[in-house]
């Protein structure tokens, strides 16, 4: 029997749970670990070489508190001294699973390390279409893209000509929602956190209008300026004061897809919403959703978006950081809002 190869495995470890805003020093670059290049005998797992890793908002929450045990989403609870995890694109090195073979490209939940043994690979998706950059599968063609598709098309059921507002519009999900809406023939406005991001929304990504929420002292007035006839669809990423102002500006039978409420994630005293009666007055439909609820529609999503990607009808921006050793800095920069579009860390080029 041939000797199994053992290799060094660089990792990004969580030093300890974070009580305040995370810093680079809350993570450790470790070169002490090794890993076998074969899955254990009889295992159903998949060994992958990680190529691209994704920075996402939920990772900050995972760094702050102990999470429940692994769920069907595939996430492993963050544990001090262990690698953090998130979405990634990887190449199969060895497999004990019938659905994956050596050389397959996949996307899904993986560890922040050079090689990962994924013991329960049911949450992995095999990448079938490689005529587009494979890094897109942690952004435009992965979780953010499917989130945008599910919230906009499946939850809000838009119609041509409707008025659409997207908060946190310069993020990986918001940029895609806005462009889906424009392709359908909607009027689209986005909010973002800087003049530079606002300019990009209007001049690069095709939004009809946009505003910097940090410069608006009256969000209700800002929304009335952008939507004098009201809002049909609100793609909610922020919560708090923004949601409160939006409720005052919804049109009759408006729809709200509640994707995230980032303004409330880390507050000791989450803000209340005081304009809830407008949900009744305007017959507003609100639905909270998770991308995992729509995994079964991934093929339908690809059928919708891939033609737009190939015809270059969707503008997509990646904020690329080279090297796993630069992962902690990349993640903290992302948490501080210093990226536009999809931020990713390159571990290895295929």
Residue given tokens 């990004």 in the structure block: 12
> Percentage of residues in the chain with pLDDT exceeding 90?
79
Candidates 338, 296, 345; CA nearest to 322 is 345
- pLDDT confidence bin for 266, thresholds 50/70/90: low
pLDDT at 234: 98
pLDDT score for 122: 85
pTM score of the predicted model? 0.90
Instruction: Please give the structure tokens belonging to residue 157.
Output: 């059921």
- pLDDT for the residue 8: 96
43 vs 64, more confident: 43
39-56: per-residue pLDDT in tens? 998 899 999 999 999 999
**pLDDT for residue 260:** 83
Residue 74 has what pLDDT? 57
Determine contact, residues 50/113, Cβ cutoff 8 Å: yes
Q: What tens digit of pLDDT does each residue of 173-202 get?
A: 999 999 999 999 999 999 999 999 999 999
% of the chain exceeding 70 in pLDDT: 95
SS (H, E, C) the chain: CCCCCEEECCEEEECCCCCCCCCHHHEEEECCCEEECCCCCCCCCEEEEEEEEECCCHHHHHHHCCCCCCCCCCCCCCCCCCECEEEEEEEEEEECCCCCCCCCEEEEEEECECEEEECCHHHCEECCCCCCCHHHHHCCCCHHHHHHHHHHHHHCCCCCCCEEEECCCCCHHHHHHHHHHHHHCCEEEEEECCHHHHHHHHHCCCCCEEEEHHHCCCHHHHHHHHCCCCEEEEEECCCHHHHHHHHCCEEEEEEEEECCCHHHCCCCCCCCCCCCHHHHHCCCEEEECCHHHHHHHHHHHHHHHHHHHHCCCCCCCEEEEECHHHHHHHHHHHHCCCCCCEEEEECCCC
Residue found under tokens 């090297």:
323
Q: What is the rounded CA–CA span in Å between residue 141 and residue 151?
A: 15
Residues 232-260: pLDDT tens digits?
A: 999 998 888 999 999 999 999 999 999 98
Indicate if the pLDDT at residue 265 is higher than 70.
Answer: no
| pLDDT of res. 258 | 94
């Amino acid at each position: 029997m041939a000797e199994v190869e053992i290799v060094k495995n660089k990792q990004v470890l969580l030093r300890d749970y974070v009580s305040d805003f995370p810093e680079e020093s809350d993570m450790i670059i470790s070169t002490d670990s090794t890993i076998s290049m074969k899955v254990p005998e009889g295992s159903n797992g998949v060994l992958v070489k990680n190529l691209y890793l994704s920075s996402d908002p939920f990772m900050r929450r995972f760094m702050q508190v102990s999470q429940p045990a692994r769920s069907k989403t595939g996430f492993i609870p963050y544990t001090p001294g262990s690698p953090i995890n998130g979405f990634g694109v990887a190449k199969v090195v060895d497999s004990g699973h019938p659905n994956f073979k050596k050389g397959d490209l996949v996307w899904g939940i993986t560890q922040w390390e050079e090689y990962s043994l994924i013991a329960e690979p049911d949450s992995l998706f095999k990448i079938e279409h490689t005529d587009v950059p494979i890094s897109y599968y942690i952004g435009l063609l992965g979780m953010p893209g499917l989130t945008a598709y599910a919230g906009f098309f499946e939850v809000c059921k838009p119609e041509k000509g409707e008025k659409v507002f997207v908060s946190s519009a310069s993020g990986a999900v918001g940029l895609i929602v806005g462009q889906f809406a424009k392709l359908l023939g909607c009027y689209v406005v986005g909010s973002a956190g800087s003049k530079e991001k606002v300019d990009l929304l209007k001049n690069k990504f095709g939004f009809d209008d946009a505003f910097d929420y940090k410069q608006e002292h009256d969000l209700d007035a800002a929304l009335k300026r952008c939507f004098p006839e009201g809002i049909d669809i609100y793609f909610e990423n922020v919560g708090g004061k923004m949601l409160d102002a939006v409720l005052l500006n919804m049109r009759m039978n408006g729809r709200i897809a509640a994707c995230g409420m980032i303004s409330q994630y880390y507050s000791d005293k989450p803000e209340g919403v005081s304009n809830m009666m407008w949900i009744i007055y305007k017959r507003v439909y609100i639905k909270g959703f998770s991308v995992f609820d729509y995994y079964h529609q991934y093929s339908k999503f690809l059928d919708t978006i891939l033609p737009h990607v190939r015809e270059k009808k969707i503008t997509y921006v990646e904020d690329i950081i080279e090297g796993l050793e630069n992962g902690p800095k990349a993640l903290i920069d992302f948490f501080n809002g210093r990226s536009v579009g999809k931020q990713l860390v390159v571990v290895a080029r295929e």
